Structure 1
Amino acid sequence: MNIVFTARKSSAVSHAIKGNFTGPDDLNLILGKGTRVEVYLVSSDGLKMVKEFGIYGEIACLEPFRPPCITVNAHSPMIPNGRTGAASGVSAGRPAHPSRPSTRSVDSTFLDQFDLPIDEMTIMSMVFLHGCQRPTLALLYQDKKEVRHVKTYEFDLKNKDKSETGWVQSGLSGARTCIAVPAPIGGLLVVGEYSISYFNPAQMTSISITMNATNVQCYNHIDQGNRYLLGDHKGMLYILVLECSNAAGSSSFSSTRSIPVSGLKLEALGTISIPEAIVYLDNDHAFVGSHLGDSQLIQLHENADEQGEYVEIMETFTNIAPVTDFEVVDLEGQGQGQIVACSGAFKDGSLRIVRNGVGINDRAVLELPGIKGLWSLKDNLDAITEDVLVMSFLNSTRVVRVTPDSDMVQEDLEGFLSDTSTLLCGNAQAGLILQVTEGSVRLIAPPQHIQAGLVSEWKPPTGELISIASMNGAQCLVAVGGKTLVYLDIGSEVIKKVGQTTFENEIACIDVNSIDGANRHASQVCAVGLWVDIKVLLVRLPTMEILASHDLPGDILPRSLLLSRFEGVPYLLVGLGDGHLLTFTLDAALSSLLTPKKISLGTQPIMLRQISAAKGEDGSDASGGSTTGKSDHVFACSDRPTVIYSSNRKILYSNVNLKQVATVASFNCAAFPNALAIVGSDEESILRIGSIDEFQELHVRTVPVHESAKRISYMASRKCFGVLTTQIVSEEPESFGPTRIVACEEEEIGFVRLYDDQTFDVLDSYELPREESPQCITAVTFAGDPTSYIAVGTADTISEDVPTKGRILILEVSETSKLKLVTELEVQGGVMAIKEFQ
């Protein structure tokens, strides 16, 4: 059985409007994304999503309106407008349709629709005009001679009839869009490829300006309608200003006095994503919704920047649509597939690397080779911030404090052993610090304590060494001489030996993390893992009585234990030496282990460390669960690091975007709030401090290619991607000249490009002839030939409909990642798919 689910919701914006949706004083941005609607609150801090909901269908139209009141009637879908006997409703199952700017109510439960024939066949655009006595529709159409005209119709709703007003404008070359200008200006804007014209049927006037050839795809008016933002197919944003005079015209055509327009002014503001919708919000901020690129929140400035642009991008909203092709690869060799997708189009074209799991965003990276252990320290057990890191090396230990300015200052703690390796370090009660080495267990008072220095020390019997240690705020367990487990009380300023027990075989790992909800600084039980026997034990404290024993499956030794509580349920996690994790559930009395669940997290031994995730503004933690402060999660350190957490009482696992982690510690300080300190592998020799992203989230990395990426194929032997791209080139000058018409002849050029699979730099390119378009690509090897090749299928672009010819190209990829055409074969028809076979 296959289970199919949506890992990432639709991100392409098809519609965008603004209104007061969540409250009369709230400014909301409302987006249509396929079958979903998202509602954002516009605030001084940016856009904040407050609601999203799905609909049973694809959004065709999204328009705001404000009724006097709204009621819900399940038997009669209607929206009363407060007048007796008059209501306006929309019947279910009928497509949305254009409406008048000021909608009047109709005496019916449903809209009373009627049909009226017109002579015009090819309709380009139509809008209802503002400020008219009767409903007036402006119609932009094309006749049989491909000449475009605009005319107006008046409608008599009572008699269900129409009539032409007699106003017609002809010869509108390249006209595409009609824009109704709101009252009190009124009139109509007609936007074409080479010009923009303003018409006012009431005043029988028209004004036009010319511009470089372009295709305006969307618009939105600013303020009262005398300024418009226009976005074209190249991702250029313009502002159109209607220059108005104070004189007012009049006509029997208009029911109100309109403001005459004396001129039009068009100015290029800057580059944005190729827009599908533009919404002017407030205070010179606008939203650009895109289908071909990332959507953007932009700010408009009066003065241009160094690049001559008036647009500043304030926030970007990732959009991976449209995806034309993708490859699933394991770039890090961790057994975790990633999607490398051809995304976007034209100048917004890109490669998107999509990976599921937890993202670690580096805040600081230091080269510190040889770190064997890492712990963070607070001022006391109840403190929130951790600004001290303790790093253990082979023969020494360093203590560093991170200042609010991100500087690391080494500290010399009196009584702290720095000339030996440290097995364990942490905060104990009474504001003390515990340090465990092979030779002793030490309680140390920090400098802020009244009596700084060594407070108490416990040493094992002569000749025996401490091999393993675990602690909480009041208890410490150490393995002495390999087989003896010693329980020490560290809840006061004196270390007291409470009990001990000896096992037949050596102790592999221990843990005494508190899972008692009533006392988070002390535990009733501890967990012990044994060598040779290959089992885990649950031991009662302080009696050292064995409560439960469980033999582990197979012959793989336990390497790490952790007692943890997820959503109130106690668990024992066991990390094995082969990268598997066993999860035991404990009973309510914490006295028995239930049947474990086994999962593979990696291939190397697992080290389990507890970390904290900070609560978000909405009261949820990084995993999406509700918290009241910080939520404890578990970090499984291995060659495939994983964060373990719980949601809806189910244990979940999220991969981390790091290759290998040796150890980790929570680190929340002024310079790096809610961060983690992470030590990589011995080969990497890096200490990184990074913030953690939300769990169970798709992380998208963008590699801009600034052209349309059409097809992709991975070549493992050369560690590179072969990508087919197309680029639109034109003879249009770069400068913007609204005073003259410039014809724009655009051509499409195809390329075969090689991208490095780590840096995604372009390694080499092969250009196709201009009459040829790339269609498919695959990596290929031939029997007895160690050379790596790429096979490319093409189609000619001269044919009007179906390609009549194409080529199969075999390109050699050298060891230096250079492309060389080896052979080619011309075929009849376009080559739309190509695959390697043996």
Structure 2
Amino acid sequence: MLFVASHYGNSQLFRVNPENYTIELVQELTNISPILDFTIMDMGNREGEEQTVNEYSSGQARIVAGSGVHKDGSLRSVRSGVGLEDVGILADMDNIRDESLCVQCVGDIEEVEEFKGTSLNEHSLVAQNLSDGRLIQVTPSSVRLIDVEGGVAISSWSPAAGQTITNASANNDWILLSVNGNSLISLGIEHDLIRTEHNDLGEKEQVACIHLPPQYPSIGVVGFWKSGTISIMDLKTLQPLHTESLRKQDDLTSVPRDIVLAQVLPPESSGPSLFVAMEDGFVFTFNVSKSDFALSGRKSIVLGTRHARLQLIPKPNGVYNLFSTSEHSSLIYASHGRIIYSAVTAQDATCVCPFDTEAFPECMALATETTLKLALIDDERRTHVQTLPIGQTVRRIAYSRNERAFGLGCVKREVLNNEEIITSSFRLVDEVVFDKIGEDLVLEGSSGPEMVEAVFRAELTDSYGNKVERFLVGTSYLSDIQPNPGSQDDFRGRILVVGIDSDRNPYVVTQRGVKGACRCFGVIGDYIVAALAKTVVVYRYNEVSTTYAKMDRVASYRPSTYPVDLAIEGDTIAVADLMKSMSLVKFTPPVDDEPAKLEELGRHYQASWATSICHIEGESWLESDAQGNLMVLRRNSSGVTEDDKRSMTITSEFNLGDMVNRIRKVTVDASENAIVVPRAFLGTVRHFFFGLNHILDSR
């Protein structure tokens, strides 16, 4: 066996056969370092400038990074969560949740009009196999007990005329029904359907959800609308054994919408667990006693902004996993004696169920808004990496939500006739198909080849007064021939404003030569903030047409040495300095006859080789340096003297041990009692840090 380790690309494991002199690739190990730049895509949130992720669904955040160098350069889509591997597409259809449809897989996949005596003209509340080979189907109008081998309904039950079955659940021995939402009826399953008990709730209560646990056939769990409670009931008497209120006194809107009671933790160490999905996206969990079904150990977790639908997934040794479908799908499973909630890579799942057959073992049937498909699901959370080989160094990356595309600044290095040739280009990659679109925009200015230094997504005003998506590209010239100082061609780089046409090709709206490399950008309204060599400059952007715009310089600021990164919060600009840490600058736009100004508000007077900077919250800023240190700095706005107020002080620091190339701010919808609140994602030379354990808490 031969292991080839790579710092710039994926490591590989080969099997070498010395007898016939062959080598065979056995395994390829994903390596996403070094990360030169990255962007955050939250799959649950596509609006607004800031990226927002769910507190308990970090796997929903999709990180797209420029990884590797030279020919190993690639674009990597990285997600941490439970993966779904599609096995096959069964059908393309709409409204899967609102109808009953039978799809038969015998050679070809086709829809059938009749199946084993089932009713296909109304939607099914329950369609479930029984252990003795029979089938139960519950619709709003009836309950059918079906002999699958004979293909006929051997028994049926229907509510009184004018009444409707609104909720139902079944196990191998019982069926529990809610009729008109205000009465409970239990049916025993023997040779026929036998009505056992009836409980009329009257006007005092409404049934919201029902569940019969497969491992405890004598009880049922019922959730109620008006009181916001759940009750564990004896199916023979329909009387509650235990009742638990889930609603706060001042909250009348939170309602239980789905319930599951199952053995998730190993049975030798713990009893079953009860999960209750609420209307507002919370999921309550309880420990359940095996002897008297008493509830204890109440906890809550947020899985979304709307209620989750919970589906049991049987596993070996009598335990279950749960699949939760919401705007953030999750898998609930046990690991090391704890219940884990992990995001699932299926973003658009509306409902799922097990589909473990001889032809498709251990599969899941998964429905989306438009598709029914089969998939294999991981047992636990893993890191999933999707790779788009670029063959060049992806030095900079930006994401446009409206165009649903990534803008890449790429650098290609090749040797021709013993001469190293470096060329840069701007290219687009589609977010959905994750592949290149349009033609590359080769960066070749009037002064020769260029190096791409910065790519930034900006929302600017077009010639019609509408906000449009634009990419800002900053470059530096590579020519060895130095221009004459003060001459018309005394430019060391360019700023390009790039648009996307109807054919999804990039085109240059306008460009401006600058006297220094343009390393990074920011935007304040229609003002473009550019960090040039030794200077931070603000330009007023005025788009005259789709192919021409003006960029007028309105203000400038000179840091100590060289600006390497910018972070903007409101009208405040944080400037990371190559050697002198950071400074805060306030931008004041022109008013009447007063020109625009850039005024220094504060400065960190300690020497530090800064690499990146990011706003955290309030007056706090996060800075990284070349020695692998992280620092949270805050301006002393309550100082006594003016010099005290201008001083930036370190409030916390941490040695990460890895040089950070890029910091991206992230906003988390955290609960009020959350202990740790993530504030930023860090991309480094060797690793990518994400998740609560590696995100700096500004407190």
TM-score by length of 1: 0.54
Q: Which amino acid aligns with 1:794?
A: T
1:423 aligns with 2:125: yes
Q: Where does residue 793 of structure 1 map in the other structure?
A: 474
Correspondences of 1:100-499 after superposition (within 5 Å): 281=1, 286-298=2-14, 313-331=25-43, 333=45, 335=53, 336-370=60-94, 372=96, 394=99, 397-403=100-106, 407=109, 410=112, 412-447=114-149, 453-490=152-189, 492-499=190-197
Q: Where does residue 209 of structure 2 map in the other structure?
A: 509
Q: Where does residue 260 of structure 1 map in the other structure?
A: none
Residue 815 of structure 1 and its aligned partner are, at CA, apart by 4.9
Q: Where does residue 680 of structure 1 map in the other structure?
A: 368
State which of 397, 419, 438 in structure 2 corresponds to 1:745.
419
Residue 563 of structure 1 and its aligned partner are, at CA, apart by 1.2
State which of 500, 508, 511 in structure 2 corresponds to 1:821.
508
Cα distance in 2 for partners of 1:463, 1:821 equals 68
State which of 653, 656, 661 in structure 1 corresponds to 2:344.
656
State which of 295, 310, 313 in structure 2 corresponds to 1:593.
295
| CA 599–791 in structure 1, closer or farther in 2 if over 3 Å, else same | same
Does the Cα contact within 8 Å between 1:779 and 1:836 map onto a contact in 2? no
Cα distance in 2 for partners of 1:348, 1:318 equals 12
State which of 247, 269, 289 in structure 2 corresponds to 1:552.
247
| CA 828–484 in structure 1, closer or farther in 2 if over 3 Å, else same | same
Does the Cα contact within 8 Å between 2:499 and 2:509 map onto a contact in 1? no
Cα distance in 1 for partners of 2:460, 2:132 equals 72
Correspondences of 1:500-539 after superposition (within 5 Å): 500-503=198-201, 504-514=204-214, 520=215, 522-539=216-233
Q: Which amino acid aligns with 1:690?
A: A
Secondary structure of 1:439's partner? coil
Q: Where does residue 641 of structure 1 map in the other structure?
A: 329
Does the Cα contact within 8 Å between 1:570 and 1:586 map onto a contact in 2? yes
Q: Which amino acid aligns with 2:276?
A: V
Q: Where does residue 397 of structure 2 map in the other structure?
A: 712
State which of 448, 451, 458 in structure 2 corresponds to 1:773.
451
State which of 658, 668, 671 in structure 1 corresponds to 2:356.
668
Q: Deviations over 1:372-423 (max 9, x none)?
A: 45xxxxxxxxxxxxxxxxxxx53xx4444545x6756849554433444322
Residue 712 of structure 1 and its aligned partner are, at CA, apart by 0.9
Cα distance in 1 for partners of 2:243, 2:133 equals 34
Does the Cα contact within 8 Å between 2:227 and 2:245 map onto a contact in 1? no
Q: Where does residue 284 of structure 2 map in the other structure?
A: 582
| CA 711–630 in structure 1, closer or farther in 2 if over 3 Å, else same | farther
Unpaired runs of at least 5, structure 1: 1-280, 305-309, 374-392, 515-519, 614-627, 732-742
Secondary structure of 2:523's partner? coil
Q: Deviations over 1:656-677 (max 9, x none)?
A: 2223222111111233221110
Q: Deviations over 1:700-741 (max 9, x none)?
A: 11111111111112223433222110112333xxxxxxxxxx
Q: Deviations over 1:411-456 (max 9, x none)?
A: 9554433444322121224332112222332222221xxx663333
Q: Which amino acid aligns with 1:643?
A: L
Cα distance in 2 for partners of 1:349, 1:688 equals 34
Secondary structure of 2:71's partner? helix
Residue 609 of structure 1 and its aligned partner are, at CA, apart by 1.0
Does the Cα contact within 8 Å between 2:428 and 2:437 map onto a contact in 1? yes
Cα distance in 1 for partners of 2:380, 2:234 equals 34
State which of 252, 260, 266 in structure 2 corresponds to 1:562.
260
Q: Where does residue 832 of structure 1 map in the other structure?
A: 519
Secondary structure of 1:569's partner? coil
Does the Cα contact within 8 Å between 1:778 and 1:836 map onto a contact in 2? no
1:810 aligns with 2:496: yes
Q: Deviations over 1:231-273 (max 9, x none)?
A: xxxxxxxxxxxxxxxxxxxxxxxxxxxxxxxxxxxxxxxxxxx
Does the Cα contact within 8 Å between 1:643 and 1:655 map onto a contact in 2? yes
Q: Where does residue 592 of structure 2 map in the other structure?
A: none
| CA 402–785 in structure 1, closer or farther in 2 if over 3 Å, else same | closer
| CA 502–800 in structure 1, closer or farther in 2 if over 3 Å, else same | farther
Cα distance in 1 for partners of 2:104, 2:247 equals 41
Larger radius of gyration: 1
Q: Where does residue 167 of structure 1 map in the other structure?
A: none
Q: Where does residue 406 of structure 2 map in the other structure?
A: 721
Cα distance in 2 for partners of 1:718, 1:400 equals 37
Secondary structure of 2:272's partner? strand
Cα distance in 2 for partners of 1:287, 1:410 equals 53
Q: Where does residue 190 of structure 1 map in the other structure?
A: none
Cα distance in 2 for partners of 1:411, 1:837 equals 61
Cα distance in 1 for partners of 2:104, 2:429 equals 42
Secondary structure of 1:347's partner? helix
Secondary structure of 1:768's partner? strand
| CA 781–467 in structure 1, closer or farther in 2 if over 3 Å, else same | closer
Percent of aligned positions that are identical:
27
Unpaired runs of at least 5, structure 2: 47-52, 54-59, 483-489, 526-699
Does the Cα contact within 8 Å between 2:438 and 2:506 map onto a contact in 1? no
Cα distance in 1 for partners of 2:30, 2:108 equals 30
Q: Which amino acid aligns with 1:427?
A: N
Residue 529 of structure 1 and its aligned partner are, at CA, apart by 1.3
Cα distance in 2 for partners of 1:717, 1:442 equals 50
Secondary structure of 2:187's partner? strand
Does the Cα contact within 8 Å between 2:262 and 2:319 map onto a contact in 1? no
Q: Which amino acid aligns with 2:475?
A: T
Q: Which amino acid aligns with 2:300?
A: K
Deviates more, 1:464-473 or 1:641-650: 641-650
Q: Deviations over 1:800-829 (max 9, x none)?
A: 99xx97323122313534433344444444
Does the Cα contact within 8 Å between 2:172 and 2:217 map onto a contact in 1? no
Q: Which amino acid aligns with 1:820?
A: Y
Secondary structure of 1:640's partner? coil
Residue 595 of structure 1 and its aligned partner are, at CA, apart by 5.9
Does the Cα contact within 8 Å between 1:479 and 1:507 map onto a contact in 2? yes
Cα distance in 2 for partners of 1:633, 1:416 equals 29
Secondary structure of 1:319's partner? coil
Cα distance in 2 for partners of 1:368, 1:325 equals 38
| CA 402–820 in structure 1, closer or farther in 2 if over 3 Å, else same | closer
For the aligned residue pairs, the C-alpha RMSD in angstroms reads 3.2
Q: Which amino acid aligns with 1:351?
A: L
Q: Deviations over 1:83-123 (max 9, x none)?
A: xxxxxxxxxxxxxxxxxxxxxxxxxxxxxxxxxxxxxxxxx
Residues paired across the two proteins, number: 487
Does the Cα contact within 8 Å between 1:566 and 1:649 map onto a contact in 2? no
| CA 758–421 in structure 1, closer or farther in 2 if over 3 Å, else same | closer
State which of 409, 415, 426 in structure 2 corresponds to 1:730.
415
Does the Cα contact within 8 Å between 1:811 and 1:823 map onto a contact in 2? yes
Q: Which amino acid aligns with 2:441?
A: Y
Deviates more, 1:549-558 or 1:657-666: 549-558
Does the Cα contact within 8 Å between 1:536 and 1:552 map onto a contact in 2? no
Cα distance in 2 for partners of 1:497, 1:573 equals 28
Secondary structure of 2:521's partner? coil
Secondary structure of 1:498's partner? strand
Correspondences of 1:601-616 after superposition (within 5 Å): 601-613=303-315
